[in-house]
C-alpha cells in the first residue's frame, strides 16, 4: 500500500506526555489546526484542564490517564480514540522524565524507571500504533533528542534512554519499509527546549535546581516539527541549530566535545532557582502540568530555527542557498572587474 498521509486538519492524533511541555504545546497547536486529539498522561487533573481549554476554543479533544510504562493502560488510549473518533491517523510518543546526576550517584532502580518511561513507553506506544496504522496507513512520531546522538555529562541515563529510542525507531522504520507497511516513522531531535522538563527532573546533584544548556528554544517549535511529521513523511527532524551542532561536533571531534562538556557541563545545567516545588520529580508519579514552559526565569527562548525550516522546506532552502551563492559570486566578480 502506498504511503499517503492525510492533511493535519483531517487527522486524529494520540499524544503521550500531553499534560505539559512539548506534548501540551503539540495538542493545543494540533487542535487549533483542525485535528482531533487524544491527550495521554498520568495527571488526570492536568489532562482535564487541557481538554476543557481546547474544547472551549472550539477544538475536539479527549483524554486518557495512563502511565506509558504500562502497555495495557496505554492500549486504552488507542481504544478511546477508536470509540470517540473511529480510530487515529498519527501517534506521538512524547512522554518522558529526566534525572540529573552522575552515573555513580544514580541508583539502578532510578535508571530502570527512567528506561520504563522514556524507552519502554516509546516501545509500547509504537507497537500499539503500528498495529492500528499498518492496515490503513498513518504516521508514528517519536520524540528523541540531540542526546540521541551525543551523551551529555550529568544526564547520562537520560542520554542512554534517548540513544535507545533512536536505535529502536530506526530499526522499526526499516522493518516497516521492508514489509511495505504504509506507516511513516519520524524521530524528532529537539535541542535545549524551555519546558517543564527541568521542573520535573529528579535532581541528585548538589544544586537547588537544574536547567537545559543554552541556547534554548520555544516548545512550540518542536510542536511544529511534530505536526509537520504527522502529515509529511520525514526520517528525522532536528529542532534547534545549537543542539544539532553538538551532535555534529560530537561525531567529528568526540574527545574535544568531551573536554568542552567537562568544562562547562555543571555551570550550564545548574541554577540557584528551585522553580515550583510541586512540579519537582515526576520520575515515579505524575506531577501537576498545565504549562508548556518551565517556572524558571531561564534564558531568552529562540522562537525560530533556520535549521528546522530548511528541513521542512528543503527545496526553498536550496533555492535560497543558491541565490545567496549567486549574489556572492556576482559581488566578487564585480570587485575583480
Domain ranges of the chain: 8-304
In the numeric block, which cell numbers belong to residue 190? Answer: 529537539
How far is Cα of residue 75 from the mean position of the Cα atoms in its chain?
21
pLDDT at residue 290 in the model: 82
Q: Which residues of 199-231 are buried (b: 16+ CB within 10 A; e: fewer)?
A: bbbbbbbebebbbbbbbbbbbbbbbbbbbbbbb
pLDDT band at residue 296 under the 50/70/90 scheme? confident
pLDDT at residue 21 in the model: 96
Which carries the bigger pLDDT value, residue 93 or residue 244?
A: 93
pLDDT tens profile 160-214: 999 999 999 999 999 999 999 999 999 999 999 999 999 999 999 999 999 999 9
CATH assignment, 8-304: 3.40.50.720
**Average pLDDT of the chain, as a whole number:** 92
pLDDT tens profile 105-145: 999 999 999 999 999 999 999 999 999 999 999 999 999 99
- Report whether pLDDT(298) > 80: no
pLDDT tens profile 6-16: 999 999 999 99
Q: Which residues are catalytic?
A: 158
- Report whether pLDDT(325) > 90: no
- Cα distance between residue 12 and residue 78, in whole Å: 11
How many Cβ atoms are within 10 Å of 290's Cβ, its own excluded? 16
Q: What is the mean pLDDT of residues 236-262?
A: 93
Amino acid at each position: 500500500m502506498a504511503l499517503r498521509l492525510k492533511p493535519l486538519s483531517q487527522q486524529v492524533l494520540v499524544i503521550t506526555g500531553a499534560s505539559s511541555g512539548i506534548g501540551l504545546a503539540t495538542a493545543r497547536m494540533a487542535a487549533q489546526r483542525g485535528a482531533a486529539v487524544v491527550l495521554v498522561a498520568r495527571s488526570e487533573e492536568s489532562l482535564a484542564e487541557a481538554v476543557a481549554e481546547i474544547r472551549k476554543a472550539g477544538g475536539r479533544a479527549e483524554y486518557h490517564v495512563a502511565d506509558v510504562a504500562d502497555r495495557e493502560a496505554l492500549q486504552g488510549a488507542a481504544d478511546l480514540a477508536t470509540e470517540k473518533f473511529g480510530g487515529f491517523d498519527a501517534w506521538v510518543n512524547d512522554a518522558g522524565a529526566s534525572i540529573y546526576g552522575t552515573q555513580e550517584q544514580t541508583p539502578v532502580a532510578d535508571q530502570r524507571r527512567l528506561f520504563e518511561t522514556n524507552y519502554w513507553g516509546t516501545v509500547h506506544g509504537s507497537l500499539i500504533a503500528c498495529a492500528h496504522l499498518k492496515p490503513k496507513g498513518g504516521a508514528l512520531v517519536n520524540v528523541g533528542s540531540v542526546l540521541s546522538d551525543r551523551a551529555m555529562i550529568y544526564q547520562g541515563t537520560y542520554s542512554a534512554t534517548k540513544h535507545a529510542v533512536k536505535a529502536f525507531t530506526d530499526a522499526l522504520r526499516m522493518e516497516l519499509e521492508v514489509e511495505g507497511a504504509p506507516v511513516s516513522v519520524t524521530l524528532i531531535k529537539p535541542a535545549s527546549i524551555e519546558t517543564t522538563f527541568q521542573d520535573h527532573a529528579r535532581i541528585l546533584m548538589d544544586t537547588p535546581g537544574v536547567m537545559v544548556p543554552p541556547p534554548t528554544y520555544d516548545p512550540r517549535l518542536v510542536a511544529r516539527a511534530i505536526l509537520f511529521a504527522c502529515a509529511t513523511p520525514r526520517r528525522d527532524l532536528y529542532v534547534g541549530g545549537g543542539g544539532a551542532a553538538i551532535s555534529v561536533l560530537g561525531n567529528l571531534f568526540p574527545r574535544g566535545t568531551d573536554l568542552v562538556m567537562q568544562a562547562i557541563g555543571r555551570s550550564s545545567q545548574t541554577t540557584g532557582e528551585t522553580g515550583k516545588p510541586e512540579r519537582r520529580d515526576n520520575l515515579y508519579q505524575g506531577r501537576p502540568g498545565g504549562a508548556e514552559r518551565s517556572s524558571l526565569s531561564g534564558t531568552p527562548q529562540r522562537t525560530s530555527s533556520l535549521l528546522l525550516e530548511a528541513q521542512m522546506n528543503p527545496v526553498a532552502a536550496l533555492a535560497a542557498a543558491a541565490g545567496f551563492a549567486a549574489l556572492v559570486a556576482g559581488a566578487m566578480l564585480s570587485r575583480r572587474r
